[in-house]
Structure 1
Amino acid sequence: MKYDFTTVYKRYGCGSGKWDEMQRENPNVGEDVIPFSVADMEFVEAPEIVEGLKAFLDTTVLGYANATDSYKEAVCAWMKKRHNWDAKPEWILPSHGVVDAFFSAIKCYTNEGDGVMLLTPVYYPMYIGIKVNNRVLVDCPLVERGDTYEIDFEDFEKKAKDPNTKLFILCSPHNPCGRVWTKEELERIGRICNENHVLVVDDEIHHDLIMPGHTHYVYAALSTEMEQNCLVLTAPSKTFNLAGLQTSNIFVPNEALRREMEAFLKRGSANPKCNILGYKACEIAYSSCGEWLDECIQVIDENRRVITEFMAENFPQIRVCQLQATYLLWMDWNGLGLDYKELERINRQEAGLFFDEGYIFGAQGEGFERWNLACPTSYVVAALKRMKEAYGKYVK
């Protein structure tokens, strides 16, 4: 490979929550142990980003900054090249992150007591955004089908028809289930939401991380009607490991909705200006780092293959879900016959395996683990060896 996907920087004491948590919970972990939990990467940055930021720092001052025309043009060019979506620069409202963005959407477009729909299990800050803002969770459980998940459209439509349901947060691709929604599924969601006046907030933070053999469709690109009834949330953070720079984009194609969000951001407590280095890093990444991303996806897919084959041979009781997108492998460990808290204890204290525990994604996630695959394959292989040794006394 052209790029380095084997080096790991140990991030102890650097403010990385997952590294500090691992050290706090098990100070004796070995050198071959890294956390597989929070969704950032254990890869070094693309050199184009590092060198580009160095050059930028040589010629600028770090004062307040707005999103430049070149920034917005780079974002839109990426959307066209990678997703065949003709997004317009004027649709972009920068945000400090996708979580901030969907929190803002909840507060901007709904009132206290309004219903907000989620396809569950799902990324846990979405539950928090609904709860802390005194909205009502409208839970639409996904249906397990073999090694993947499907939408129960009968249930979805019934809940969308409730006059109290005002907003739907779509996780596309889905975290933690790893689903890429098909064109037909998205169009059906669009029809139901449009007919029932439910606004769609489309979280696409993982949409660049599509595994071989799958095709992602941007929700807003599928029809004018869908475009005009949605917000699309994107960021370079998952794609290029830039989460610490806190830069994302809210695309609002509908002018009236955009003006409403602009007014909300101006009167709210959040500063709508983003990080000057985040703007530049995003622009560099979208302009120069497509090849790095392509190689990164190859490594993630290889890690998926290694784990899937290992589980089939050594722990067939563990159900590995299809990884269609994201670098987050969703696995059902309930077949081992162990309580989910016991799984967590064995993994962290005996096997040196620090995952995001499934129960944080909702009740359906109990007994599941979410494994972050954005790391060198050698660390995955070492983890599987530790797992086999640790579980030998529990599973026969």
Structure 2
Amino acid sequence: MNWNDCIERTNTHSVKWSFPEEDVIPMCIADMDFQVSPAIVEALNQKAHHGIYGYTTFSSRYFESIVSWWEKRFDMEIYKDWICFSPGIIPGINVLLSVLTEPGDGVIIQDPVYYPFYSTIENHGCSVLKNTLLYQDGFYSIDFDDLEEKARKPETKVLILCSPHNPVGRVWTIEEIERIGDIAKRHHLWIISDEMHGDLVYEGYEHKPLFKVGESFLENSILCAAPSKTFNIAGLQTSILLIPNKELREKYNEKLTGYGLMRPNVFGIEGTIAAYEEGEPWLNELLMVLEDNKQYVLNYLEQHLPELKAIVPQATHLIWIDCSELDMLGEDLCMFFLEKARVKFDEGFKFGECGQSFVRMNIACPKERIDMALRRMNHAVLEHRRIVK
């Protein structure tokens, strides 16, 4: 696998590479500029050559591949009956909220957080209750006093947990997850745990799935996962919701069918099976590449761009960067990097008001591309220093 190959993605219907202006390096959108595992390519080629792409359903091999993956990667037993389909995590959360909430209910999120959570909650007429993460000395932690206060409100019905957290890159400890779960149980809240990035964890850290931390959380929790971020197959539109609560699972599947979302993508099934059965060697290589890229970015910023403070990620292929010393906020900050450096980031303000002075950088690309982006950023900031002086 050549991890340094800068594969051309323009004119491929890529969201990330469909930016209208030329000579812009996209360091946004959380997909990777790496080719997927050869095992996935082979599985998709075989299906393509079969030549029939009709309505698709779920085989026993599909379920077995998921159960086996969770046992192998997390030493955790899950059951076939828990496994529910969704074309994506956000569609799945939308369906869940349609079952679990009524207009006017409150849903807790821990901002700055994955920005589709906001619109997903508001789509159902619910209130966004922000349990804003505490930020001190380059580190994020949970404000448990505030979480308790939000959880005890009679209108609060759901907590959406992002674990590992996107964009700040925290891997929550067992103690933190237990405390979150205990608060939810005491106040009769449902937990929707988005564990999309659970496989992308750096050396020295270990992702603890919600269900493994506490079996007592099973009846009031849903765990969301997918091969899409792990194996770079988001376009195959296949995600997994683990719902141990039988009554909720039946309601979820009924709603999913009502929305016409119950049929998987014909290639998504093949991609999922190949990823979970044969993709682990590729993933292990990827994690080494991401570790190297992460250190490269951290070292470069420290040596050349001290105004930019990277929040050291414990997981994800993303780096959350504090740009407050540039004295620019929101759209102005992102336009600075776009116009002066020709680098496109995910705008920090989209993740919440507390992200106004931040950008999110995707490091899942060849190091040559990262180096080019960093050099452009350095040139732009040097010019900015000269002007402000």
Distance 2:150 2:383 in 1: 46
Q: Is the 8 A contact 2:6 2:369 kept in 1?
A: no
Pick one of 3, 28, 42 that aligns with 1:51: 42
Does structure 1 residue 190 correspond to structure 2 residue 181? Answer: yes
Shift of 1:11: 2.1
CA offsets 1:212-250 (integer angstroms, 9 cap, x no match): 110100001122211221111111110111011100011
Which residue among 372, 378, 383 is the counterpart of 1:388?
378
1:22-44 Cα distance to aligned partner (Å, 9 max, x none): xx1x32x1xxx531100000001
Corresponding letter in the other structure for 2:264: C
Q: State the alpha-carbon separation in 2 of the partners of residues 16 and 52 from structure 1.
A: 22
1:46: Cα distance to partner? 1.2
SS in 2 for 1:181: coil
Inter-partner Cα distance in structure 1 for 2:43 and 2:18: 29
Give the superposition deviation at 1:169: 0.7
SS of the residue corresponding to residue 64 of structure 2 reads helix
Q: Which amino acid aligns with 1:314?
A: H
Unaligned runs of 5+ in 1: none
Q: How many residue pairs were aligned?
A: 386
| Letter in structure 2 aligned against 1:244 | G
TM-score (norm 2): 0.96
1:104 aligned counterpart, secondary structure: helix
Please state whether the residue corresponding to 1:392 is helix, strand or coil. Answer: helix
Aligned to 2:356: 366
For 1:90 and 1:358, locate their aligned partners in 2 and report how far apart those are by CA, in whole Å.
39
Aligned pair in 2 of structure 1 residues 360, 6: CA closer, same or farther (>3 Å)? same
Q: Give, in whole Å, the separation in 1 of the partners of 2:25 and 2:72.
A: 34
TM-score for both structures, normalised by structure 1: 0.95
* Matched position secondary structure for 2:255: helix
The whole-number CA distance in structure 2 between the counterparts of 1:149 and 1:253 is 31
The RMSD of aligned alpha carbons is 1.3
Compared CA separation, residues 350 and 195, structure 1 to 2 (3 A): same
Report the Cα distance in structure 1 between the residues aligned to 2:68 and 2:319, rounded to whole angstroms: 30
How far apart are 1:59 and its partner, in Å? 4.1
The share of aligned pairs that are identical, in percent, is 35
* Partner-residue secondary structure (3-state), 1:168: strand
Question: Does 2:60 align with 1:80?
Answer: no
Q: Which residue pairs with 2:367 in the alignment?
A: 377
The SS at the match of 1:239 is helix
Residue number among 221, 226, 249 corresponding to 2:217 in the alignment: 226
Deviates more, 1:381-390 or 1:192-201: 381-390
- Which region of structure 1 is more displaced relative to structure 2, 344-353 or 112-121? 344-353
Distance of 2:64 and 2:121 partners within structure 1: 33
Equivalent position of 2:267 in the other structure: 277
Letter in 2 for 1:299: V
1:328-354 superposed Cα distances (whole Å, 9 cap, x missing partner):
100100112234433222211221211
Matches of 1:162 and 1:57, distance apart in 2: 52
**Aligned with 1:168 (options 159, 168, 184):** 159
Q: Establish whether residue 19 from structure 1 lines up as the match of residue 23 from structure 2.
A: no
Contact 2:133 2:143 in 1 (8 A): yes
- Counterpart of 2:341 in structure 1 is 351
Gaps of 5+ in 2: none
